[in-house]
């Protein structure tokens, strides 16, 4: 974000907060009527070190995370997602502003850095885990693709057009190839564009091609490991809710109906077999769902599911609960300092006003698997 744009956003947030417009927007959009679910990915001790081998927008430092928690705790009542779900299901009102803390993907640093802080402050939280990676040394597919692209652009001096040609030569295509070839050589936007419409089987093959050609760089990748089942049992015993984020982090809207069923049912079974609890909570990878995916998640036995936008499916309102994804710079002013006004605007979805969700939530026709 440019310095001028950051300054304008900072000034606007202060004005919204001072006049109460932030709360009015929350009321008008309907987000004030339900609890605010805040989601994070990785919580790290040293942001600068971690950002060298990780997607920056998935990181928050322990210092900033604590500032988020303290501000939210001063203005909201913390509840677990299980408690919130039960109230929503029964139609009970929330007499005061309510918030819940959650983590996506199940990175191990949530246990090391966030969990002790949450226990110390008595804050309930939830973790949505990719069950097929729990207890393994495997990285998330998006992390491997990001690192391979970073290595290609920085170490091998490749362009986006050259990356596209490498993939075409390996018989890997996407409908966005021409547009991707014209993009700047930056790992994150190219990664997002490549994964946008690919079924996971093809995405895995793409990562294998790029990793074999360019490697994953020289960085230390230990921080990208997943939680173990032992960690999850300890967190569960301390009162944290453990939910599903699919079995392999497949983007459900890119998959066949058979794969969607496999991803949702097997991950639920994994959690119940390994933790001995009834898995009721589900978070859609990348917030992507359509009517078919939502119906499949409900049919798999989950009672509550969460996206990353304000869209609600009227047929499955409890399967399309909004959550707000935050990171290190989500609530900072133009000087890079934590801003209470920016945080208030995030909690009321002010910065999302007028924006449209890029995901297609309405498609009901089955997607045909691409050639793999």
pLDDT in tens, 69-82: 999 999 999 999 99
pLDDT reported for residue 1: 59
Return the number of other C-beta atoms located less than 10 Å from residue 81's C-beta: 27
Task: From 203, 198, 196, 208, select the one nearest 368 (Cα to Cα).
Answer: 198
When comparing pLDDT for 36 and 365, which is higher? 36
pLDDT reported for residue 8: 85
Reported as a pLDDT band with limits 50, 70 and 90, residue 347 is very high
CATH of domain 3-137+228-352: 3.20.20.370
pLDDT reported for residue 366: 43
pLDDT reported for residue 367: 43
Q: What is the pLDDT of residues 111-128, one digit of tens each?
A: 999 999 999 999 999 999
pLDDT reported for residue 222: 76
When comparing pLDDT for 62 and 291, which is higher? 62
User: Which pTM value belongs to this model?
Assistant: 0.93
Using a pLDDT cut of 70, give the percent of the chain over it: 93
User: d(Cα 168, Cα 175) in Å, to the nearest integer?
Assistant: 12
User: d(Cα 252, Cα 258) in Å, to the nearest integer?
Assistant: 11
Q: What is the pLDDT of residues 140-152, one digit of tens each?
A: 999 999 999 999 9
Q: Average of pLDDT values for 297-302? A: 96
Residue 342, both tokens: 């920016």
Let me know: does 145 contact 191? Beta carbons within 8 Å.
Answer: yes
Q: What is the pLDDT of residues 18-36, one digit of tens each?
A: 888 778 877 776 666 789 9
Mean pLDDT of the chain: 91
Let me know: does 257 contact 295? Beta carbons within 8 Å.
Answer: no
Let me know: does 53 contact 223? Beta carbons within 8 Å.
Answer: yes
Task: From 221, 262, 276, select the one nearest 108 (Cα to Cα).
Answer: 221
Let me know: does 282 contact 289? Beta carbons within 8 Å.
Answer: no
User: d(Cα 165, Cα 179) in Å, to the nearest integer?
Assistant: 13
Q: What is the pLDDT of residues 254-286, one digit of tens each?
A: 999 999 999 999 999 999 999 998 999 999 999
Let me know: does 243 contact 37? Beta carbons within 8 Å.
Answer: no
What is the distance of C-alpha 85 from the center of its chain?
19
Residue labelled with tokens 């596209």: 164
Q: Average of pLDDT values for 317-332? A: 95
pLDDT reported for residue 312: 85
Task: From 329, 346, 149, 174, select the one nearest 251 (Cα to Cα).
Answer: 174
Q: What is the pLDDT of residues 57-66, one digit of tens each?
A: 999 999 999 9
Q: How is the chain split into domains, by residue range?
A: 3-137+228-352, 141-214
Reported as a pLDDT band with limits 50, 70 and 90, residue 371 is very low
Give me the phi and psi of 257, to 5 degrees please: -60, -35
């Amino acid at each position: 974000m440019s310095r001028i744009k950051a300054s304008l956003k900072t000034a606007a947030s202060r004005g919204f907060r001072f006049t109460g417009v932030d709360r009015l927007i929350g009321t008008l959009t309907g987000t004030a009527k339900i609890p605010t679910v805040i989601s994070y990915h990785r919580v790290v001790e040293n942001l600068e070190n971690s950002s060298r081998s990780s997607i920056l927008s998935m990181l928050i430092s322990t210092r900033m995370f604590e500032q988020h928690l303290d501000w939210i705790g001063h203005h909201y009542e913390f509840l677990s997602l299980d408690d919130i779900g039960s109230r929503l299901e029964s139609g009970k009102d929330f007499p005061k502003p309510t918030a819940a803390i959650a983590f996506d993907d199940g990175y191990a640093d949530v246990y090391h850095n966030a969990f002790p802080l949450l226990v110390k402050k008595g804050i309930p939280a939830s973790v949505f885990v990719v069950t097929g990676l729990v207890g393994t040394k495997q990285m998330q597919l998006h992390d491997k693709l990001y690192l391979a692209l970073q290595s290609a652009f920085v170490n091998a001096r490749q362009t986006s057009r050259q990356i596209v040609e490498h993939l075409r030569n390996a018989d890997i295509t996407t409908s966005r190839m021409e547009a991707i070839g014209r993009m700047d050589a930056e790992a994150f936007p190219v990664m997002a564009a490549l994964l946008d419409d690919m079924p996971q089987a093809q995405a895995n093959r793409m990562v294998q091609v790029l990793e074999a050609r360019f490697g994953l760089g020289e960085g230390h990748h230990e921080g990208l490991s997943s939680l173990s089942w032992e960690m999850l049992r300890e967190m569960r015993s301390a009162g944290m809710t453990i939910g599903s984020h699919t079995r392999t982090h497949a983007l459900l809207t890119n998959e066949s109906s058979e794969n969607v069923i496999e991803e949702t049912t097997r991950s639920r079974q994994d959690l119940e077999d390994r933790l001995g609890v009834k898995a009721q909570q589900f978070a859609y990878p990348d917030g992507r769902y359509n009517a078919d995916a939502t119906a499949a998640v409900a049919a798999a036995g989950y009672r509550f599911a969460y996206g990353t936008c304000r869209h609600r499916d009227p047929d499955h309102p409890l399967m399309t609960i909004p959550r707000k994804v935050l990171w290190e710079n989500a609530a900072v002013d133009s000087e890079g300092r934590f801003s209470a006004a920016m945080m208030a605007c995030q909690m009321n979805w002010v910065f999302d006003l007028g924006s449209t969700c890029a995901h297609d939530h309405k498609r009901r026709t089955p997607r045909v698997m691409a050639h793999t």
